Structure 1
Amino acid sequence: MNNVEIALEIMAKGMGGIFVAIFVIMVAVIVLGKLTSGKKEQ
C-alpha cells in the first residue's frame, strides 16, 4: 500500500504541473490577444 501512496503523490504532482502550464499558456494568450486587438486596420 505504501507504493500506491507514493505513486499517487507523484501522479498528483504531475497533474498539478500540467494544470499550471495550461493556466500560464491561457493567461499568455489572453494578454497577447488584448495587446494586439486594438490594431485593426481596414
Structure 2
Amino acid sequence: MSKKKIVPFRPKPVPVKDRTQEEILDNRRSRREAMLEKFNRKTK
C-alpha cells in the first residue's frame, strides 16, 4: 500500500510545483519588462 501510494502521489506535486514556479517567474518577467518599458518611455 505504501509503495503504491508513494508512486502516484510523487509525480503529481513535483510537476505542479515546477509549473507554478515557472508561471510565477514568467509573470514576474513580463511585469518587469512592462514596467521597464513604461519607465523608459517616460524618461525618453
Q: Same fold (TM over 0.5)?
A: yes
Q: Which 4+ stretches in 1 moved above 3 angstroms? A: none
Unmatched runs of 5 consecutive residues or more in structure 2: none
Higher helix proportion (structure 1 or 2): 2
What is the number of equivalent residue pairs in this alignment?
39
Q: TM-score, normalised by structure 2?
A: 0.77
Aligned residues: CA RMSD? 1.0
By how many angstroms is 1:6 displaced? 1.4
Identity percentage of aligned residues: 10
In the alignment, is residue 12 of structure 1 matched against residue 10 of structure 2?
no
By how many angstroms is 1:4 displaced? 1.6
Unmatched runs of 5 consecutive residues or more in structure 1: none
